[in-house]
A and B are shown apart, each in its own frame.
Chain A
Amino acid sequence: EDKVVQSPLSLVVHEGDTVTLNCSYEVTNFRSLLWYKQEKKAPTFLFMLTSSGIEKKSGRLSSILDNKELFSILNITATQTGDSAVYLCAVSPRNQGGKLIFGQGTELSVKP
């Protein structure tokens, strides 16, 4: 059975800290892995990863995929209160109509 597991499920840090969120997966016919940020409303797209070892970066956020060990990490440096959100990891398998398989999400709370 296809599965995506995120850890930790919740995390509390202070502004300026660096955090690492983890996502492991067991999916038949892997195509891509995606990260979303959700703040009390619709999830918004952060990154899509398809190739192992290539880092994607956007400002203070970065992510990398290891498709041999079947995991991805999302790093946030110099955290701000505006980073407080639920971070969702999802995998898109091939030949399944475009559906995504989501992990449980990591709830990040950044305190001032």
Chain B
Amino acid sequence: DVKVTQSSRYLVKRTGEKVFLECVQDMDHENMFWYRQDPGLGLRLIYFSYDVKMKEKGDIPEGYSVSREKKERFSLILESASTNQTSMYLCASSFLGALGYGYTFGSGTRLTVV
């Protein structure tokens, strides 16, 4: 069964900490995405990548960075966590050229910044 695995289901961090959210896929997909999900706002794209070492800003990249050193792994980095980054973070992957049906999502990481 194809999988996108996010390293933590729940995470609590302190304001100002550097936070790493890890995502690994086993489908050899080119595209990988990070979204955050908030009530009433839906999913908003933070960053995406369509190849190793490539990254593109999404709609809300401020306060975040990403790393894609290997095809299967896409990391989201909060350089200095703030309380307004408390959210559900969803990683997804798809093959290049997918119309959208090829998306596979991870189970999400619920991050609380205190």
Using a CB–CB distance below 8 Å, which chain A residues touch chain B? 4, 6, 9, 31-32, 34, 41-45, 48, 50, 88, 90, 92, 97-105
Contact = CB atoms under 8 A, between A and B. Distances in A.
Nearest to A42: B105
B58 A98 contact: no
Interface range on chain B (Cβ under 8 Å from partner):
20 to 34
A32 B99 contact: yes
Given A41-B108, A42-B105, A31 B48 contact: no
Contacts of A92: 99-100
A48 B100 contact: yes
Given A98-B96, A99-B58, A45 B103 contact: yes
26 contacts: A4-B42, A9-B40, A31-B100, A32-B101, A34-B100, A34-B101, A41-B107, A42-B90, A42-B106, A42-B107, A48-B99, A48-B100, A88-B42, A97-B48, A97-B50, A98-B50, A98-B94, A98-B96, A98-B97, A99-B33, A99-B58, A100-B45, A100-B100, A102-B35, A102-B43, A104-B42
Given A42-B106, A97-B31, A98-B50, A88 B43 contact: yes
A98 B50 CA distance: 9
B51 to A, nearest CB: 10
Interface of B: 4, 31, 33, 35, 40-45, 48, 50, 56, 58, 90, 94, 96-101, 103-108
A98 B49 CA distance: 10
Nearest to A6: B42
A31 B99 contact: yes
Contacts of A45: 101, 103
Nearest to B96: A98
